[in-house]
Structure 1
Amino acid sequence: MAWTSILAIYFLIWVMSAFMLLPFGVRTADEAGIAKVPGQADSAPVSFRPGKIAVRATVIAAVLTSLFVLNFEYGWVSADDINIFAQRPAA
């Protein structure tokens, strides 16, 4: 597998991980016991920490990309293994 393909897969997994991590650890003003700013949405987070999300997404993306590349190299799980409609030979 080319390094550019690995980089593209890493980027896609990183973006997916970052979006999936966004709702975790978010506290609203009501939950934190802080007064709201006039016009603030009830669901607005008290403190948004994009750096923390980026670090977590980086670690998760590195692990998942490594597993993907290793699976590609060693063929642990193939498309035939996950295709439930494939014809299986009789045992």
Structure 2
Amino acid sequence: MEWPAGLAIYFILWWIVLFAVLPWGVKSRTEAGEEAIPGTDAGAPARHGLLIKAAVTTVIAAFAWAFVAWIWIYQPIPLDSIPFMPDFSAEY
């Protein structure tokens, strides 16, 4: 795997993991026992914790990327056995 492809795969995995991590531990202002600020939604989060979630996302995406890279490099499942994969054996 060349580095631009690896970087692109990591970028895509990072965003997928971010959207999975975003709802973790979110409490609305009413659930947290705080008063809603006039003009805001009652379901708005009291604390978002985006820096912690970004760090967690980075770590999880790194492990996911390492798994994808391992599959790509060592091919425990040959890519030719997957029906929808293109033929990589052709030399250009």
Give runs of aligned pairs for residues 2-81 of structure 1, distance below 5 A. Answer: 2-78=2-78, 80=81
- TM-score normalised by the chain length of structure 1: 0.81
Tell me how large the CA RMSD over aligned residues is.
1.7
Mapped to 1, the partners of 2:43 and 2:29 lie a distance apart of 8
The ranges of structure 1 where at least 4 consecutive aligned residues each deviate by more than 2 angstroms after the TM superposition are 77-83
Residue in 2 that maps onto 1:89: none
1:6 maps to a residue whose letter is: G
Supply the distance in 2 between the matched residues of 1:30 and 1:65 (Cα, whole angstroms): 38
Q: CA shift at 1:77, angstroms?
A: 3.0
Alpha-carbon distance in 1 for matches of 2:58, 2:69? 16
Q: Deviation of residue 42 (structure 1)?
A: 2.2
What are the ranges of 5 or more consecutive residues in structure 2 without an aligned counterpart? 85-92
Alpha-carbon distance, 1:54 to partner = 0.6
CA distance in 2, matches of 1:8, 1:23: 25
Q: Which structure shows the bigger proportion of residues in helix conformation?
A: 1
Q: Whole-Å Cα distance in 2 between the matches of residues 52 and 44 of structure 1? A: 18
CA distance in 2, matches of 1:38, 1:78: 59
SS of equivalent residue, structure 2 residue 30: helix
What percentage of aligned pairs have identical amino acids? 33
d(CA) in 2 for partners of 1:56, 1:77: 29
